[in-house]
Amino acid sequence: MNLTKICIATAVLLGLSMAANGLFMLVAPGTWYLAVPGVISTGPFNQHFVRDIGLVFLFIGTAFLVGAARPQARLFLWGAATLWLWGHALFHVWEVAVGICGPSALARDFPAVTLPAILAAVLTLWARSSAAVQASPVAGGVR
């Protein structure tokens, strides 16, 4: 499997998982609040807030899926989604740094918070380099 196929497959997987999480948050915010490890320790249930963030996850998932299908929009869509995912991950680190959460929260949250941010950054960097290669006169991208 070549690098392009790996990156597109990763983007589709990331997009589907983000969109599914967003839909879960929108459709069943109370169930989502109780089902996701660590969420109940962040404060009382707030249906409006869970649904607001659910919309963000739905949009992020859609950005990765549309970017996987449309190379010309990929860098913008994945870059915007990556910025939010990194902001979210850094916010979790900040909560530990100021004592809101214990250090164990970072390990607990890694699969759902930090890993998606890392994968998104790798995909965005790949999209940037891929776009640069396609635009290169040597690669035949200039028309």
pLDDT digits (tens, 9 = 90+) for 30-44: 999 999 998 998 889
Only one residue has tokens 């902001």, namely 87
Residue 91: burial class (beta carbons within 10 Å; 0-12, 13-18, 19+): exposed
Give the model confidence (pLDDT) of 96-116 as tens digits: 999 999 999 999 999 999 999
Q: Measured between alpha carbons, how far is 50 from 33 in angstroms, rounded to an integer?
A: 8
What is the structure's pLDDT at 42? 85
The ranges of the chain with pLDDT < 50 are: 142-143
Domain segments of the chain as ranges: 3-132
pTM of the full predicted structure?
A: 0.89
What is the structure's pLDDT at 64? 98
- Residue 36's nearest CA partner among 21, 57, 56, 18 is 21
What is the structure's pLDDT at 1? 74
